[in-house]
């Protein structure tokens, strides 16, 4: 045992208490050390968490900035693609317009060339006639010269037969006179012929000049026509190449399909939708070109198919057998499109869809050529629940759908009018009841008024009028006579004021028939 004395007080500790005290001191020291280390660890962890939070916040901001940049880049690419698409469509429309203009100019040049050919033939025929007339005139001049020569010879022979001397004497005189006369006659005869010949020569020269100018003009026109035909063939070839490309042909078919539907009175996004994506049960993604909304909640699927390579080659082929083979290939490809559409079975994949699909061919000539090569094409498509439509037949089908929508809107308006009529009928019934109650209240008030007037006239006013006789009236005014109201309020009556009896108001009809 250990003892400690402090004045009068003495503490006595045994070994057990000393050990307990030592353990308590050591435990206190350990707790202090542990608390200090825990506070340091907590502070370190808090700083670490703050650093991690600051780092993650920076990463989030960097990620948001990158996402924004990616979105802007994607939007710019979308805008560039849209501009390229618009430029391509404008270029295609411009090429089509140029092709039409070239075709029109080609027809004009053909007509002009035919007119020039006819004119040239007429000029050549006139030239031949003038040459024949010139030959006739030249033959006439030769015959005249021969005849004059014969006359001179005959006169000379006659003079020689008479007398040689007399002839010599007289012949000189006669010959001189006759020579003068003959010279004058010959001059008078040859003068008009010379003049006619000179005029004919001038006309021939003018005609030759005109013919040369016409030939030069015709040659120029033919060269222009050849150049135009070459340009037209070049543009037509480019257009054919554009249509033969799958993407260009597909876009052209879709544009034609949209134009036909809008021309028939249907509106995009309201009456029909393009490129509708749908996921079916087996995970496949189907995308028909156009889905037309029909009255009654039904839908019509239209798919555009353009395959014109063989048709264009057949139109340029001169060999009938080769052309027939190309048209048969064209018909077979169109039948393959029908088979593909039948296998897709849109009517089974899309809800509320009619039990057939329309295959749009963007040209009457494409379908007519395929049908001429394969007479069973239409029946084959119908058996596979595919209806082949062209712009003319699709216009009729789309107009029928538009008419159905107008009938649907008319039926909806009729239904709304029916509801409004029922509501108006009910309100008129309530108003009629209130009118009857108001009339009865007015009659009650009128009876009370008449009763009050009777009381005043018999019991109050006679006494009041005596004040006037006694000279106490104010300003000479007299008490007026009160009259009773004799008329009663007229109640509405059936057949006179209204078409129904307000006292026996029937209930409004549940439904108004809209049938004629």
Which range among 103-117, 269-283, 360-374, 452-466 shows the weakest confidence by mean pLDDT?
269-283
**pLDDT on residue 179:** 57
Q: What is the dihedral of CA 417, 418, 423, 429, to 10 degrees?
A: 120
Surface-to-core class of residue 360, CB atoms within 10 Å of its CB (0-12 exposed, 13-18 middle, 19+ buried): buried
Task: List 290's β-bridge partners, or say none.
Answer: 274, 302
Which range among 13-17, 322-326, 332-336 shows the weakest confidence by mean pLDDT?
13-17
What would the mean pLDDT of 33-44 be, rounded to a whole number? 76
Residue, of 505 and 351, whose pLDDT is higher = 351
**pLDDT on residue 267:** 66
Residues whose CB falls within 8 Å of the CB of residue 235, separated by 6 or more in sequence, listed in order: 95, 98, 99, 102
Which range among 35-39, 295-299, 432-436, 467-471 shows the weakest confidence by mean pLDDT?
467-471
**pLDDT on residue 231:** 54
Which range among 1-5, 244-248, 363-367, 434-438 shows the weakest confidence by mean pLDDT?
1-5
CA distance from start to end of the chain: 126
Please state, for a pLDDT cut of 70, what percent of the chain lies above it: 61
Q: Find out whether 285 and 279 touch, Cβ atoms under 8 Å.
A: yes
Q: In whole angstroms, what is the distance from residue 335 CA to residue 24 CA?
A: 102
At 435, is the pLDDT very low, low, confident or very high (cuts 50, 70, 90)?
confident
With CA atoms as reference, report the closest residue to 376 among 334, 322, 320.
334
Domain-by-domain residue ranges, the chain? Answer: 2-104, 105-239, 254-389, 419-504
What pLDDT, in 10s, does the model give residues 119-132? Answer: 777 777 777 777 77
Residue, of 335 and 142, whose pLDDT is higher = 335
With CA atoms as reference, report the closest residue to 385 among 308, 303, 281, 327.
303
What would the mean pLDDT of 35-52 be, rounded to a whole number? 75
With CA atoms as reference, report the closest residue to 99 among 235, 214, 206, 229.
235
With vertex at residue 149, the alpha carbon angle to CA 144 and CA 154, rounded to the nearest 5 degrees, is 125
Q: In whole angstroms, what is the distance from residue 134 CA to residue 199 CA?
A: 11
**pLDDT on residue 346:** 76
**pLDDT on residue 204:** 60
| Beta strands at 9-13 and 285-286: parallel, antiparallel or unpaired | unpaired
Describe the chain by its helix, strand, coil percentages, rounded to 5. 75, 10, 15
* 78-82, 155-159, 434-438, range with greatest mean pLDDT: 78-82
How many C-beta atoms surround the C-beta of residue 428 within 10 A?
16
Total residue length of the chain: 516
Q: In whole angstroms, what is the distance from residue 137 CA to residue 131 CA?
A: 10
What would the mean pLDDT of 91-104 be, rounded to a whole number? 79
What would the mean pLDDT of 274-282 be, rounded to a whole number? 62
- Residue whose pair of structure tokens reads 């005849």 in the numeric block: 147
DSSP 8-class letter at 513: -
- Residue whose pair of structure tokens reads 């006579």 in the numeric block: 481
What would the mean pLDDT of 437-466 be, rounded to a whole number? 75
At 326, is the pLDDT very low, low, confident or very high (cuts 50, 70, 90)?
confident
**pLDDT on residue 312:** 74
Q: In whole angstroms, what is the distance from residue 256 CA to residue 269 CA?
A: 17
Residue 407 C-beta-side C-alpha neighbours within 13 Å: 9
Class of domain 105-239: mainly alpha
Q: Find out whether 451 and 484 touch, Cβ atoms under 8 Å.
A: no
Asked if domains 105-239 and 254-389 share a fold, the reply is no
Question: Phi then psi for 173, rounded to 5 degrees?
Answer: -65, -45
Q: Find out whether 364 and 392 touch, Cβ atoms under 8 Å.
A: yes
Token pair belonging to 439: 């009339």
Out of 3.40.1350, 2.60.40, 3.40.50, 3.90.1070, select the CATH number for domain 254-389. 3.40.1350
What pLDDT, in 10s, does the model give residues 203-261? Answer: 666 666 766 776 676 667 666 655 655 554 454 454 455 455 555 556 777 777 778 77
At 108, is the pLDDT very low, low, confident or very high (cuts 50, 70, 90)?
confident
**pLDDT on residue 28:** 80
Q: In whole angstroms, what is the distance from residue 170 CA to residue 164 CA?
A: 10
Token pair belonging to 393: 């037949």
Q: What is the 3-state secondary structure (H, E, C) of 152-211?
A: HHHHHHHHHHHCHHHHHHHHHHHHHHHHHHHHHHHHHHHHHHHHHHHHHHHHHHHHHHHH
pLDDT at 11 over 60: no
Token pair belonging to 31: 């707790």
At 8, is the pLDDT very low, low, confident or very high (cuts 50, 70, 90)?
very low
């Amino acid at each position: 045992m250990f003892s400690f004395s402090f004045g009068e007080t003495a503490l006595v500790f045994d070994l057990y208490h000393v050990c307990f005290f030592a353990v308590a001191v050591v435990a206190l020291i350990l707790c202090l050390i542990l608390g200090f280390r825990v506070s340091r660890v907590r502070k370190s962890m808090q700083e670490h968490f703050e650093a991690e939070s600051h780092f993650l916040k920076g990463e989030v901001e960097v990620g948001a900035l990158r996402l924004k940049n990616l979105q802007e880049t994607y939007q710019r690419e979308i805008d560039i693609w849209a501009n390229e698409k618009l430029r391509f469509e404008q270029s295609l429309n411009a090429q089509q317009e140029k092709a039409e203009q070239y075709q029109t100019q080609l027809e004009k040049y053909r007509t002009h060339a035919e007119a020039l050919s006819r004119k040239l033939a007429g000029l050549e025929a006139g030239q031949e006639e003038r040459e024949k007339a010139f030959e006739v005139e030249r033959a006439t001049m030769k015959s005249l010269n021969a005849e004059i020569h014969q006359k001179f010879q005959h006169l000379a022979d006659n003079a020689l037969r008479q007398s040689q001397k007399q002839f010599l004497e007289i012949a000189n005189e006669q010959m001189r006179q006759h020579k003068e006369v003959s010279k004058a006659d010959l001059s008078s005869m040859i003068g008009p012929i010379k003049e006619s010949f000179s005029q004919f020569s001038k006309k021939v020269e003018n005609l030759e000049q005109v013919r040369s100018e016409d030939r030069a003009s015709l040659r120029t026109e033919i060269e222009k026509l050849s150049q135009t035909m070459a340009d037209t063939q070049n543009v037509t070839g480019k257009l054919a190449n554009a249509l033969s490309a799958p993407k260009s042909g597909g876009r052209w078919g879709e544009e034609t399909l949209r134009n036909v539907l809008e021309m028939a009175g249907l509106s995009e996004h309201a009456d029909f939708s393009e490129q509708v994506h749908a996921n079916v049960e087996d995970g496949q993604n189907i995308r028909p070109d156009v889905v037309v909304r029909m009255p009654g909640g039904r839908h019509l699927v239209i798919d555009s198919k353009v395959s014109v390579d063989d048709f264009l080659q057949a139109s340029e082929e001169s060999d009938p057998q080769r052309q027939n083979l190309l048209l048969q290939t064209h018909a077979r490809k169109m039948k393959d499109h029908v088979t593909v559409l039948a296998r897709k079975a849109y009517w089974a994949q899309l809800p509320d869809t009619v039990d057939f699909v329309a295959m749009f061919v963007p040209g009457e000539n494409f379908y007519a050529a395929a049908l001429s090569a394969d007479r069973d094409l239409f029946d084959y498509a119908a058996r596979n629940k595919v209806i082949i439509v062209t712009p003319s037949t699709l216009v009729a089908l789309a107009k029928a759908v538009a008419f159905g929508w107008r009938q649907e809107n008319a039926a909806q308006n009729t239904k709304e009018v029916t509801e409004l009529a029922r509501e108006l009928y009910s309100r008129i019934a309530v108003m009629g009841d209130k009118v009857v109650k108001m009339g009865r209240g007015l009659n009650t008030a009128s009876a009370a008024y008449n009763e009050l007037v009777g009381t005043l006239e018999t019991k109050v006013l006679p006494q009041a009028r005596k004040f006037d006789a006694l000279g106490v009236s104010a300003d000479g005014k007299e008490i007026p006579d009160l009259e009773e109201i004799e008329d009663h309020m007229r109640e509405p009556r059936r057949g006179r004021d209204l078409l129904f009896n307000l006292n026996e108001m029937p209930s409004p009809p549940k439904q108004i028939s809209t049938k004629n």
